[in-house]
């Protein structure tokens, strides 16, 4: 049986691209989150651009290179299937049911990709610049996952954020992402305020994660580096 780092050309490519793919993934997500989303004003309810599915496919390819072991690789492609299914449902049957299904599917997609990346970032081994960049990817994914959680709350409770956010607004997705990042970083400008109990609970949880993640990351990085040097 061929080993993970040798044998077939595909296995050799994965061994070489393993950690650099973390950097590629970070670049992709920066372009999408801080470029594509703000400038296109896209919504999590009605995405009409082919750029977003394309970015998702590239992200899956990067995570496939990152994945350690066969199980992680299978989970990565499962995430791709889930994402494609969600897009097809939304485009072929544009209704409230498919819109709500898309939100849950997108959340599942992010959860799987985050799990695969996190397994590599926080696994044993030397701490490299690529792994630090992978940790930033996980941090970005936290904001993205909470964006979809807020969207789910807003979908089922349209007044969850008062008059600041309405589901019929074409830029609601970008606004939810903005709110998620300001909550995660505990900036809290106050222009968007959660009024629904579930929205407030999620905001509290995200703010706590935003405070604990950097400290936990630093502790883990130091532990990994000390353990690697001791070998």
Where exactly are the structural domains of the chain?
9-229
Q: For residue 105, is pLDDT > 90?
A: no
pLDDT in the model for residue 61: 64
Q: For residue 12, is pLDDT > 50?
A: yes
pLDDT in the model for residue 4: 46
Global pTM value: 0.79
Give, as one character, the DSSP assignment of residue 197: H
Please provide residue 19's backbone torsions phi and psi, each rounded to the nearest 5 degrees.
Answer: -80, -40
- Mean pLDDT across the chain: 76
Give every CB contact of residue 5 below 8 A, 6+ residues apart in sequence.
Answer: 11, 12, 15
Q: Which alpha helices (DSSP H) does the chain contain, by range?
A: 9-17, 20-31, 37-40, 51-66, 69-92, 96-121, 129-156, 172-184, 197-229
Instruction: Show the tokens assigned to 14.
Output: 């994965």
Q: Which CATH number fits domain 9-229: 3.30.1180.10, 1.10.10.10, 1.10.287.70, 2.60.40.420?
A: 1.10.287.70
| Tens digits of residue pLDDT in 131-152 | 888 888 899 999 999 999 999 9
Helix/strand/coil for 49: coil
| Tens digits of residue pLDDT in 161-181 | 988 887 777 678 888 999 999
């Amino acid at each position: 049986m061929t080993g993970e780092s040798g044998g077939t050309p595909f296995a050799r490519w994965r061994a070489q691209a393993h950690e650099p793919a973390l950097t590629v993934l970070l670049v992709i997500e920066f372009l999408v989150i801080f470029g594509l989303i703000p400038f296109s004003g896209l919504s999590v309810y009605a995405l009409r651009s082919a750029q977003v599915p394309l970015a998702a496919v590239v992200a899956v390819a990067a995570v496939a290179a990152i994945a350690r072991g066969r199980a992680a690789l299978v989970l990565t492609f499962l995430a791709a299937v889930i994402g494609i299914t969600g897009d097809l449902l939304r485009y072929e049957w544009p209704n409230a049911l498919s819109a709500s299904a898309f939100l849950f599917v997108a959340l599942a997609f992010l959860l799987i990709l985050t799990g695969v990346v996190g397994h590599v970032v926080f696994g044993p081994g030397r701490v490299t610049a690529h792994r630090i960049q992978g940790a930033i990817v996980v941090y970005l994914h936290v904001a993205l996952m909470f964006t979809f959680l807020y969207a789910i709350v807003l979908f089922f409770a349209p007044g969850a954020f008062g008059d600041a956010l309405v589901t019929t607004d074409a830029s609601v997705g970008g606004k939810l992402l903005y709110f998620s990042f300001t909550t995660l970083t505990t900036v809290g400008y106050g222009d968007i305020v959660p009024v629904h109990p579930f929205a407030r609970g999620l905001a509290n949880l995200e703010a706590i994660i935003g405070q604990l993640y950097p400290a936990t990351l630093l502790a883990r990085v130091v532990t990994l580096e000390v353990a690697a040097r001791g070998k």
